[in-house]
Chain A
Amino acid sequence: MSLFSAQLRREWLLLIQHSEEVLNPLLFLFLAISLFALATGGGPDVLRDYAPAIIWVLVLLANLMSLEGLFRRDYEDGTLELLVLKAEPAFLALLAKVLVHWTFSGLAMTLLAPLAALILYLPVSALPMLILGLVVGTPALSLIGAVGAALTVGLKRGGALLALLVLPLYVPVLIFGAGAVLEQMAGIETLAQIYWLGVITMASLTLAPFAVLAALRVSLEQ
């Protein structure tokens, strides 16, 4: 467990040093929300109807944006190779990396969600469902995204490729996450989608670290 906590500490300190990597995706989230408001004319009715979709899609995209840097720096300075080869077990150290990534992407976005909901006129009654969905669903985004980031870390122009690889795999999270809020807005009281998000997150938690490790081994050989 000391490996896990040591890695956690290291990642945490690194991300605080490079705070722009954390801030840029969050700024993007709000910038893009404003663009939606501008493009639709800012009418409360339209924005309210589309608020769950806008927030969830942009959370997906902002998450994608933050993924590019997940392994990049460690790959360039060689620490990633060390981690994959020396850390025992390596997947635990990787899990720590992803956890820190999630704290600064998924969790940060969840904390900012009330603000996003406010400017998109989302009804207050639907807000708990949005936050619950984000808390339960965004870890899956970080975990699945880490596989894509690991596959593309060695490539020069990996950005667009990363989106192509990862976004189709995000589809279930998007459907259940936005669906939960929509049902709440339609007056249907159910937690079914949240349970499904939980299932997806648990499945990613158990399987993704091994996929990330396998992908990193391939990327490091190149």
Chain B
Amino acid sequence: MSFASFGDFLAMGGHGLYVWLAYGSAAIVVAANVLSVRSARRRFFRQARALERQKAAQAARSVDSNQMPGEETK
């Protein structure tokens, strides 16, 4: 251990602002890279499923009115 107490660790010998600013910004950038991919993936699946449901509903409607399935979707 290079620090005597937790307070020392936070203060970084007077350079606390710089050290924590650097590590904080790194944490934010790393987290942003992880989260942006994750949220985009979720969004993709949500939209794709919504689209599938819409198509299924449309197909069901077209069967009800005695049309060939899939004709309307074209």
Direct interface between A and B, CB < 8 A: no
Footprint of B on A, CB under 8 Å? none
Taking Cβ atoms with an 8 Å cutoff, the residues of B that contact A are none
